[in-house]
Structure 1
Amino acid sequence: MAADLPKTMRGQFLEAFKQPYTLRSVPLPQFSHPDDILIKVDAASYCHTDYVLAEGQMPGFPRSFPHIGCHEFAGTVVSRSDRPSPEATRFDPGTRVGVTGRAFHACRECFECQGSKDPIAQDDKGYSVYCTRAENNGISKDGGFAEYAVVDARQLAPIPDALSAVETAPLMCAGITIYAALKRCQMKPGDRIAIMGAGGGLGHLGLQYATKMGYKVLGVDAADGPLELAKSLNTGARIADARSEQAADIVQQLGGEDGKSDLGEKGVDAVIILPESQTAFDYGLTLLKTHGRCVVVSFPEKGFHISSRDVVFRDISIIGSLVGSNRVLREMLNFTAEHGIKAVAKTFPLSDLNGLVEEYHKGGGGKLVVDMSL
């Protein structure tokens, strides 16, 4: 590592489940692999998965305490290992990069790394976000709630000049996840899509991406703050309050707008499920036309109940979506910069991560980000 780097860094640590974070100083992390790159973290975004992990709802993770969370962050390259891999040499010191948490030290050898059949997750041979042998920043290994982090060069994407670190960090999980989910819907401009949880961290980005992709967009939520946020974006999407508008009524209204008389033709072509609520899942499936596609992003602890009648008699396809490949990540960043898409975010200093968590529990929607410059 560079000789002028500090010997220690500050980080926010989980010491146990269901406990506040603890801020303390520790030695800088060390390299262990030719793909390793040390970055100075500039911004780190809080994800619902950070909450799930801290509550002990991800069996087996973290593997030990103390633990540094955050799997969506952005920073500046400061050094590489003494014998860097070809992938690591692509990132010179001073390069601004976004970091997705998945596939740290992907094995290069497994079925996925040798060539996944999934076009959304497909990367160059030797790397896959679905590698089962890989670690994950912020989940199985330390992440971005610290001043420095060691990352895998193959995880990284250069940040476009138009985006700041604070704007980029939420895109490293929320952005790539909703962007990849939209691609899995396999729609064409003019098709209709519904986003359940439209005012949340993923949902409000999804409203912006979907409208810029040329889709007719219906955003659905069931809380005042997220609904207000979704409406404030002025994307042109229709925003529905699930507490007062029935899915079946919306289906009839959309059918009228589209000039359709057959019930099977009325509704949306695809729906993305972001909340962990069975009610939201059922609402979303009701919105679908016959032969529609339901893309599930959330993973509630007890799962979802799926109606076999929807699957069999209406030919509804239900698929999952995790994240996209590094190729799709870069595509998403360029799309974001080109179309001026922004995460609605509230920032906090690293020292007030627990205050950020308190804000998260208020359920106001949007994203919450640690800005290391504060």
Structure 2
Amino acid sequence: MVAIPKTQTAATVPKLGGGVVFKHDYPVPQPGHNEILAKILYSGVCQSDLHTQAGTAMSADGSYIRNVKLPHVGGHEGIGRIVALGPGVTEDIKIGSYVGVPFIARVCRRCNYCLAAKEQYCAKQLNHLHHRDGSFQEYIVIGADYLAVLPDDIDPVVMGPILCAGVTTYKAVKNANVKAGDSVVVVGAGGGLGHLAVQYALAQGAIVYGVDGGAEKGEFLKSYGIHGYIDFTNTPDVVAKVKELTNGGADAAIVVANNQKAYAQAAEMLTIGGTLNCVGLPPDKVYLQTTVATIALRALNITGNLVGSLKECLEAVEFVRRGVVKPKVVVRPFEDLPKIYEELVRGEVLGRIVLKIAKDE
């Protein structure tokens, strides 16, 4: 029997924009009916965590998200082990199993989106970013009805980022209709989202090009087998270079960077009938600078996606479990979270940073 403490360490945000405050006497929640308690081992750090705690996360209508539980505990790329079961949990869920702490916490399971396996758009969904305490704490309660039980042979160190960054980019590749032989440009390719988008596209047999800044990111991406790298810091015309490399334009462009410049000319990179998939969420109102005539006359497709379904999440996990996709992670102490947010703002993070939450594992 695992000893469960009454209090724990949690990275709290007392008010949006007020910074992170570590609380060492934060209550350990108790699992209620049909809920489990998990001990968090590791958690990835996402740009969405950064913007939510800063009060700069954007909603679908372009306004800032203010409906955030306070004190806020972020984290939606967590990996833990089940340490306790609440009443009513079915026998197939076992103590000791690995579980994920993804973006989505609960869904209604009855609306048209849930019934169509698009539950990430459920109007009644609750998530670990805005409504429920996330994985920046030592223990977490999760509903058993929407539980990401993971295989026993996963590597918990690398798997956390797949629960958000991984499934989001896997879904982006699917929504961009990427097929074997297609040319795909990933804008922001060297970051936590980007290096996964590159690999999921390569896994489909695509010809993949990365756009990012600096020689270090270029060498990093070449280690995954990309077919070309465009360094925007020394390329006068990125669009022209993309067209040169792809013989007229890419079949798909996946933008994972979260700034205006990344989106300014993204659609111009595409060939006729090409698809632009929007992933990165800038912390301001940002618009595509492409005329309607261009979209219509060149038959362009504009798509986007919000993470993915639980099934798609587990599909994304399987690519990593089988070694087809290999996340680049750097493990850092839990207490480094404020520093990591600063590094994300400065664009200094290569791959994904993962926090070691559990002290004794």
The answer to whether TM tops 0.5 is yes
The residue number in structure 2 matching 1:195 is 186
- State the Cα deviation string for residues 63-109 of structure 1 (Å, max 9, x = none): 3422211111111011221122x5xx43210001222121x221123
The residue number in structure 2 matching 1:249 is 241
Q: For the residues of structure 1 that align with 2:281 and 2:173, how far apart are their CA atoms?
A: 17
1:267-346 paired onto structure 2 within 5 Å: 267-300=249-282, 301-307=284-290, 308-346=292-330
Residue pair 1:196, 1:203 contacting (<8 A) in 2 also:
yes
Residue pair 1:61, 1:140 contacting (<8 A) in 2 also:
no
Q: For the residues of structure 2 that align with 1:3 and 1:249, how far apart are their CA atoms?
A: 58
| Letter aligned with residue 248 of structure 1 | A
- State the Cα deviation string for residues 153-206 of structure 1 (Å, max 9, x = none): 344333345532120111110011001110111122111111111001110111
- State the Cα deviation string for residues 263-303 of structure 1 (Å, max 9, x = none): xxx22111111123333223321221011111111232203
- The answer to whether 1:70 aligns with 2:75 is yes
| Letter aligned with residue 265 of structure 2 | Y
Q: For the residues of structure 2 that align with 1:199 and 1:280, how far apart are their CA atoms?
A: 13
Q: For the residues of structure 2 that align with 1:306 and 1:236, how far apart are their CA atoms?
A: 27
1:129-144 paired onto structure 2 within 5 Å: 129-144=120-135
1:159 maps to which of 150, 154, 173: 150
Residue 306 of structure 1, CA deviation:
4.2
Residue pair 1:360, 1:368 contacting (<8 A) in 2 also:
no
| Letter aligned with residue 240 of structure 1 | I
SS at match of 1:71: coil
SS at match of 2:126: coil
Compute the RMSD of aligned alpha carbons: 2.1
Q: For the residues of structure 1 that align with 2:216 and 2:346, how far apart are their CA atoms?
A: 9
The residue number in structure 2 matching 1:79 is 84
1:122-133 paired onto structure 2 within 5 Å: 122=117, 128-133=119-124
| Letter aligned with residue 242 of structure 1 | F
Residue 46 of structure 1, CA deviation:
0.7
Q: For the residues of structure 2 that align with 1:161 and 1:235, how far apart are their CA atoms?
A: 29
Residue 210 of structure 1, CA deviation:
1.5
Residue 339 of structure 1, CA deviation:
3.0
Q: For the residues of structure 1 that align with 2:241 and 2:347, how far apart are their CA atoms?
A: 27
Segment of structure 1 superposing worse, 38-47 or 273-282: 273-282
Residue pair 1:74, 1:96 contacting (<8 A) in 2 also:
yes
Q: For the residues of structure 2 that align with 1:5 and 1:17, how far apart are their CA atoms?
A: 30
The residue number in structure 1 matching 2:228 is 238
Residue pair 2:40, 2:358 contacting (<8 A) in 1 also:
no
2:212 maps to which of 218, 221, 224: 221
SS at match of 1:302: coil
- The answer to whether 1:368 aligns with 2:353 is yes
The residue number in structure 2 matching 1:106 is 107
Q: For the residues of structure 1 that align with 2:6 and 2:138, how far apart are their CA atoms?
A: 12
Residue pair 2:159, 2:320 contacting (<8 A) in 1 also:
no
1:248–1:351 Cα change, 3 Å? closer
Q: For the residues of structure 2 that align with 1:175 and 1:108, how far apart are their CA atoms?
A: 23
SS at match of 1:201: coil
Q: For the residues of structure 2 that align with 1:280 and 1:160, how far apart are their CA atoms?
A: 37
2:140 maps to which of 133, 149, 152: 149
Residue pair 2:30, 2:141 contacting (<8 A) in 1 also:
yes
Residue pair 2:242, 2:250 contacting (<8 A) in 1 also:
no
Q: Which runs of 4+ in 1 moved over 4 A?
A: none
The residue number in structure 2 matching 1:29 is 29
> Which ranges in structure 1 are unaligned for 5 or more consecutive residues?
117-121, 256-265
Q: For the residues of structure 2 that align with 1:285 and 1:207, how far apart are their CA atoms?
A: 18
SS at match of 1:129: helix
The residue number in structure 1 matching 2:60 is none
Residue pair 1:37, 1:153 contacting (<8 A) in 2 also:
yes
- State the Cα deviation string for residues 294-353 of structure 1 (Å, max 9, x = none): 111123220313421221111111011111111111111111221342221222222332
Q: For the residues of structure 2 that align with 1:234 and 1:335, how far apart are their CA atoms?
A: 14
Residue pair 2:33, 2:87 contacting (<8 A) in 1 also:
no
1:285–1:3 Cα change, 3 Å? closer
Residue pair 1:196, 1:274 contacting (<8 A) in 2 also:
yes
Number of residue pairs matched by the alignment: 347
Percent identity, aligned pairs only, is 30
